Structure 1
Amino acid sequence: MIVASKQPHRLGIYFFYDAQGIVDRYIDYFLEDYKKCFDKIVIVCNGRLSEEGHCVFKKYTDHIIVRENKGMDVWAYKNAFEYVGWAELETYDEVTITNYTSMGPVYPFIEMYKEMAQKDLDFWGITKHFKYKEDIFGKISYGYIPEHIQSYYMVFRQSLVKSAEFQSYWKHMPEIRSYADSIANFEAVFTKKFADEGFKWDVYVNVDDLEMQAMHPVLTYPVELIKNRKCPIFKRRSFFQDYNVVLDATLGQEGIALYHYLKEYQLYDVDMIWENLLRTCHQEDLAKNLHLNYILACDPVDEVRMRMRFSKKKIALFMHIYFIDLLNGSFEYASAMPEFADLYITTDSEKKKQQIMNRFEGFPCGKFEVRVVPNRGRDVSALMIGLKDVIPNYELVCFYHDKKAGQVSPGSVGESFAYKCSENVLHNRAYVYRILEKFDSEPRLGLLSPPEPNHGVYFSVLGAEWCFNYEVTKAVADKLKITVPMSPDKAPVAPLGSIFWFRTNAMRLLHEYPWKYEDFPEEPLPLDRTISHGIERVRPYVVQQAGYYPAFVMATPYAEIEFTNLRQYIKNYNNALAENCLLAGSQREDLIRLKATLKGKRVKLGVVPWYMKLNNKLQRLLSEKTYSALLRVKRKILGPRDLK
C-alpha cells in the first residue's frame, strides 16, 4: 500500500513509563515534533503519572490513558487499540506506535513520513535488528531471533490494520509478564510472522550493508546512522548499556561518540539527556558508557589569561591537617592553588594550629584561616561541621587532607594511595587551572575524584568498592532522602580517599544537613561500616540527586602509571587463563568459562585455537628450560611470534 493522499490520516500512539511518573523535557521535545505528523495522538502511561507530567501531555492530546503497570509496552499498545476501537483504527492511513526509550528527533519526523509514503508497504519502522542464530531468551517460537523491525517505532498501514490476521494477533496477545515475554511475543516475531503471511515491510534507515558488522546498528553505529543515513532518533540506552555487552562488540566508543556528535553539531540539547539519565540511571553505567574519566595535562598554561578568567570565581582550598610530620607535603600541595583562592585549614589542637600558622606564614592566597576542631569524625566531620559555615561562600572547593594508611603493610602501599589521591587533585597549578576549566565547560559536572586504589592489598577494591559499606551508605542516603538509583551491585563513582573537588551547589543536600560530632564514632575508628565510610561513598549520589554527575580525574603523569598498571593486571590474568586453557574468546566468555571451571563444570563457548592447546600442553609437560629452548627454535624457523 502506498500512502497516496496529500494529507494522510494518521494516528500516533505514544507509550510512557517512569517509576516516579515524571515527564522529562526530552519527552516534551519529542512530542512537540511528533504531533505534527498526526490527526490524533493517544498517550498510554503504565503506572504513575505526576500532575506536572499530565499537564505536559495535555498540550498534545486529551486522550491520556493511565493504567496499571502491567504487560509492559505490548499490553499498553493493546490497551490503546481497544481504547480507539477497531472501527476507528481502520479509518487511518497509518497507525504509529512509539515510546519513551528513544530520544530526538534529530531530523523532523515529517521528512521520514513523506519519504516512506512513496513505498508500497504494509508496515515499516525506523531501524531493524538482524537475524541471530540463537534464541537467547528461550521463548521465541522460531528457536532463533529473526530479522525484525525494532518495536520502539513501528508504523502499521491501513492494509495491515484492516486485516483479520493483525486484529486477531492483538486480540489474542497473551499476558506479558517480563521483558523476555515482550520480545518473544512481539518485537522478535512480529515482522517475520506478518511477512510470512504476505505483508510487505521495510525500514527507513537502510543498514543492510552493516549486517556483518552488528546485530543492533542503532546502538552500535548511532553516529553513522544519524550523520549519513538521517536516522531521526537515538536510543536512551546508548548511554547506560551493560558495558560487558558493549565490549563484546566494540571498544566502547559509541556512547561517548554519540554524545559529542550531538553536542558539537548542536543537533540536540544534551542537557535534556543529563536531566533524564541522572534521575533514572545508575551512575556506574553512565560513567562507563560516557567515559566520565578526565585526564588533564600539567604542562604550563598562560597564567595571566587564567587569572583573568577565573579570579572572579569564588574558589577555595579546604585542608584538614592532622599529621604534622606531613606538614611540608601538605604545604607543597596547597601551593598548586591559584593565589586568588581562599585557604581554610582545620586541625585538632592549638599546638598544631600554631605549627601550621608558622609554616604557612606569608602564604600567597586570598582569605586564610586555621580552625581547631574536635578529632571525632576526622576529615569528614572537619569538612561538614568544622567548615560548614563557609562552604556556601564558594562555587568550587578542593578538599584535601593529609593521609596515612597505617592499617596496610608495607607502609609504602599506604603512601602510594596518598600519592594517588593528592597528585590527581593538586598536581601543580597548571593542572588546577585545567580542573577549573573542566568544571567551567561541563555545567553538569559536580564532583571530581581520583580513581580508587588498585595496587598492593588494595587490588581487590576494584570490583568491591562498597567494601562492606553499602548498608551504612544507604542509611545515610535515606536520611538525606536521596531517590536516585543505588545498588550493591553497582559501584559508586566516589572519592574513596576523601580527597576531591566539588561544586558546592551539587553538595548542598549533604552539607546543609544538621550533622553533629556525636554522629561520628570515637577513636579508634573501625576499618569499615561507620558513618564516615557511608558519607565517603554517598557523596556521588548527593551530586546525582542534585542533577550533577560525578567523574574521575587524573593528571597526565599519573595516568601514564595507571595505564601501565592496568595493562599489567590484565596481562597477568590472561597468562593465567591461557596456562589453564581458559583463554579463547571475549573477556565475558573467558569470565563465564573461569566461573564454570571453579564450580567444576565444563563450558564450551568458543573453539580454542589448536596452537593455544599445543602451547598450553607443552608448558605443562616440559620443564621451563626445555620449553624456552623449544620456543627459541620455533621463533628462528617460523618468526618472532609466540605460540600464545
Structure 2
Amino acid sequence: MTASAAEVPDGGELRSGARRVILFALHSERGDADAATRYQLAALRPLGMRLVAIVEPWLAAEEFSAVDGLVDEIVRFDGAAVDARAYRSALQTVDVTSFDEVLFTGNSWFGPIGAFDEVLSRMESSAAQVWRLIETTDRTPESFPAEGFPRALAPWTWTLVRTATVGSAAWREYWAASKQDGEDAFAEALIRGGASGAVAYPAELGPRGNPGILAPGILLDAGCPVLLRSVFAQFPPLLDRFAVLVRPIIAEMAERGYPVELLWRAVARTTPPAALNALAGMLEILPETPPAIDAQPSEGSPLRVVVLAHVPHLGFVDELAERLRQIPGAFDLIVTTTDGRKAAKLKARLRASDRDWARKAEVRVTWVPGGRDMGALLIGCRDILLSDRYDLIIRVHGREPRRKSLNVREYGRRYQLENLLSGPGYVQRIFDLFRGEPGLGMVFPPIVHIGYGTMGRGWGAYREPAEDLASVLGIAVPLDEVSPLAPYGGMWIGRPSALRIFAEHDWTVGDYHRARRARWVELTRVQERLLGLAAAEAGFHCRTVMNREHAQISHTALEFKLDELSFTTRGYPVEQIHLLRRAGWTGYGGVVALIRMYINLNHPRIAAATQPLYRTARNAGLMGQRVLAAVRNEHKDDGGDR
C-alpha cells in the first residue's frame, strides 16, 4: 500500500544550500517497502537535489511503483542491498561528481524522530570531508544463530562524503573493488587516504563500541533523530545484559512526533513475536480502575464488541455470566456448544437470566469432533471473523484440560479469565489500548507457568506442523525458536481483521478428524500457537496483559524459579542461555545425555556428524510415547471439552 498523506512528513522546499545527492539502499527480505521506509524517503527528499533508491530484485512490482513515486531515480541491484556493493552499483549509474556531497543511507533506521534540523546544522557546519551520524567500532557484533538470531544485515545508516574526497585516489581505490565492507570501514578507508573525518555520535557512547544497538536510549537523549532497525533483530537477553530498554524509547519517539504505528507494523512482520514482546516490554499490567475522564480517548464511536463463548459443559455458564458482567458497554453474545440438547438448555438459561450483560444473544451448535474451541471458532463462527460488523472479538471458553489436578484446572481457568475480564475498569483499559494503537491486533495473558510445564517447550511436537500450516496460510513471519507468543488456553481479545488469514482458509470438519487420527499433533493446538503469527503477518502486533494480583503471583514465582535455574551456570543470563543451548537437550541427566552434552560443547564437529542419528532416535522414542498415550486415551470421550 502507498503511505497516506498522514503517514509522511511534509516535503517542502530543499532545506540545504549544498548540492547533495542521496543514495538510499532499500533492503527487505519480504520484498516490500513498508510504510516506515516510505516515511523515511519522504523525509529525506527535501535534504538533497537528487534522491536515488537502490532496490533489490525481489522487490514486488507494486512496491517498486510506490518507491518510484517518492524518488528521482531507481537503481536495481542484483543482490541484498546491505553493503558497499549496492552503493557501488549506484555510483556506476549516477554521476555524483556534479554534486557537492554524497549521502549514503538506507532503510536501516526508523525516523526522523523529531526533525533533521539539528543533524543538518551539525553536518553542514562541519569542515570534515567524511561525516558519519553514528560511529561503530564493533566490526563483529555478537550474534546468536543457534537461538534464531544471526547477525543482522542492514544498509548503511548515514555517511556524508564531500566532493573533494569523491575525486581522491582513496575514493577510486575503494570503489575499484567489489567490497562487502560496512559503513565504518568505508569511512576509515577514506580517512586513511587523507580525508578529514567527524562523527556526530561517537562509538564511546555505547558499550563494545556499538551505541546504535547497545545504547539507543543514550543516542535519543543526545538528540539522535534515528533508531536503528537492528535493535529489533537482537537476541533479547543480549539487550537485557546491557539494560537496553526499548519500551521507553518508543514512548519518547511518539512524544517527539514519530508515528510509531509505522514502526510496529514493520517490526511485527520481521521479528519473531515472542522476541518482540520481550524486546519492547509489551506486557501491560493494568489496574482495575477505569482511566480518568480526561485521560479517556474521546475520538470515534463506541467499539462494536462481540463475545464468542464456547461452552462445552453447562457448569461453565454461571462463571461465564459473571465474567460477561465485567464488560463495559453494549456487546453481542454468540455461544457455541457441542450438541442440540446443550443448546436448548443454554437458550433456556439465557432467557431466564437478567440479560443486563448482553445486547443480544445467540446459541449455535458446532459439533466438530476433535476441533475443541478452535473448530467451533473457525467453522462455527467463520461469518463473524470475516464480517466487518465488529471492531473487537472477546474469545472465552470453558474447556477444562484433562489429566490436570483440580487445583491446576482452577488456577488455569482463573488465570485466563481474570487476566482478560478482571473488572469493568480493567476491560475498559484493554479497550483503550485498541483505541490508542491502530496496529494492535490481539491481547491475551502471558504464557502460564504455574502448574504447567509449557514454558521452554511451547512448540513441543507442534513446531514442524506449525511450519507446514504457516506455509499453507502464507505466514512468512519468523517463528520463535523455543515457544511462540500465543494465547495458550485459547482466550483472547482481538480485531477480526488481525485473524483474517485464519478465517479466509476453508476449514472443514474433516481437517480435525484427520488430526485426531494422530492425537499427538492435534490441529487445534497447532492453530492456537499460530494466532499471534497470523496477526503479525497481517501487520498487527500483540500485547500480553495481566491484572495486578496475577502479576504479583506470577512474577515472584518466576523470579524464584529463574534464580534456582541460574544457580549452577556462570555468567549473565545471555551467557547461561548460550551455554545451555550449545550443550543441548539434557534429558534426565543420564550418562548418555551427559556424554552427548560434553561432545556438543567440546567437539562440535563430531556432534554435528552424529546429531542426525541422535535426533532420529529421540524423535522415534517421543513418537512411541505419544502413540502409547493416545492408545490409553482412546476409550475416553472426545469431549474432554464437552
Normalising TM by the smaller chain, what interval? Answer: 0.7 to 0.9
- Name the structure 2 match of 1:481: 474
Q: Deviations over 1:421-452 (max 9, x none)?
A: 22212223332222222222222111111222
Distance 1:594 1:493 in 2: 22
2:175 to 142, 167, 170: 170
Distance 1:480 1:135 in 2: 35
* Higher RCO (CA-CA < 8 Å; seq separation 6+): 2
1:203 to 196, 199, 212: 199
Are 1:438 and 2:433 an aligned pair? yes
Distance 1:310 1:169, change over 3 A: closer
- Note the C-alpha offset of 1:241: 2.5
- Note the C-alpha offset of 1:284: 2.6
- Note the C-alpha offset of 1:125: 0.7
Distance 2:402 2:38 in 1: 54
| Residue identity in the other structure for 1:544 | A
2:223 to 230, 249, 252: 230
Distance 1:440 1:124 in 2: 42
Q: Taking every aligned residue pair, what percent have the same amino acid on both sides? A: 23
Distance 1:18 1:277 in 2: 12
| Residue identity in the other structure for 1:39 | M
Distance 2:114 2:315 in 1: 62
Distance 1:35 1:319 in 2: 51
Are 1:600 and 2:629 an aligned pair? no
- Note the C-alpha offset of 1:394: 2.2
- Note the C-alpha offset of 1:336: 2.4
Distance 1:136 1:337 in 2: 47
User: Which residues of 2 match residues 180-191 of structure 1 at below 5 A?
Assistant: 185-191=181-187
- Name the structure 2 match of 1:275: 265
Which stretch of structure 1 is more off in the superposition, 443-452 or 468-477?
468-477
3-state SS of paired residue (1:559): helix
Distance 1:493 1:199, change over 3 A: same
Distance 1:394 1:479 in 2: 27
Is the 1:395–1:503 Cα contact (8 Å) retained in structure 2? yes
Which stretch of structure 1 is more off in the superposition, 585-594 or 565-574?
585-594
Are 1:352 and 2:359 an aligned pair? no
1:287 to 272, 277, 280: 277
- Name the structure 2 match of 1:152: 157
Distance 1:601 1:159, change over 3 A: farther
Distance 1:602 1:418 in 2: 41
- Name the structure 2 match of 1:246: 239
Is the 2:284–2:545 Cα contact (8 Å) retained in structure 1? yes
- Note the C-alpha offset of 1:495: 0.9
| Residue identity in the other structure for 2:554 | E
Distance 1:570 1:434 in 2: 30
3-state SS of paired residue (2:485): coil
3-state SS of paired residue (1:446): strand
Are 1:124 and 2:124 an aligned pair? no
Is the 2:272–2:480 Cα contact (8 Å) retained in structure 1? no
3-state SS of paired residue (1:521): helix
Distance 2:300 2:17 in 1: 56
- Note the C-alpha offset of 1:158: 2.5
| Residue identity in the other structure for 2:45 | K
- Name the structure 1 match of 2:459: 466
- Name the structure 2 match of 1:96: 103
CA RMSD of aligned residues (A): 3.3
User: Which residues of 2 match residues 30-69 of structure 1 at below 5 A?
Assistant: 30-69=40-79
User: Which residues of 2 match residues 297-308 of structure 1 at below 5 A?
Assistant: 297-299=287-289
Q: Deviations over 1:47-103 (max 9, x none)?
A: 22333333334345453211211574211111122223xxx4445332221111122
Distance 1:445 1:528, change over 3 A: farther
2:19 to 9, 15, 21: 9
- Name the structure 1 match of 2:572: 586
Distance 1:223 1:274 in 2: 18
Distance 1:11 1:601 in 2: 55
What is the count of residue pairs matched by the alignment?
Answer: 557
Is the 1:107–1:230 Cα contact (8 Å) retained in structure 2? no
Highest CA radius of gyration, 1 or 2? 1
3-state SS of paired residue (2:113): coil
- Note the C-alpha offset of 1:595: 5.7
3-state SS of paired residue (1:232): coil
TM-score norm. by structure 1 comes to 0.78
Is the 1:473–1:531 Cα contact (8 Å) retained in structure 2? no
Is the 2:25–2:53 Cα contact (8 Å) retained in structure 1? yes
Distance 1:343 1:187 in 2: 57
3-state SS of paired residue (1:116): helix
| Residue identity in the other structure for 2:443 | L
- Name the structure 2 match of 1:402: 398
Which stretch of structure 1 is more off in the superposition, 394-403 or 367-376?
367-376
Distance 2:114 2:300 in 1: 38
- Note the C-alpha offset of 1:136: 6.3
Are 1:260 and 2:251 an aligned pair? yes
Is the 1:341–1:366 Cα contact (8 Å) retained in structure 2? yes
Distance 1:531 1:123, change over 3 A: same
1:515 to 498, 502, 507: 507
Are 1:296 and 2:286 an aligned pair? yes
Q: Deviations over 1:296-348 (max 9, x none)?
A: 11247789x99999994321222111233444333333332346222222222
Distance 1:309 1:82, change over 3 A: closer
TM-score norm. by structure 2 comes to 0.78
Unaligned 5+ segments in structure 2 are: 1-15, 144-154, 584-593, 603-642
Distance 1:506 1:11 in 2: 40
Are 1:414 and 2:409 an aligned pair? yes
| Residue identity in the other structure for 1:322 | P
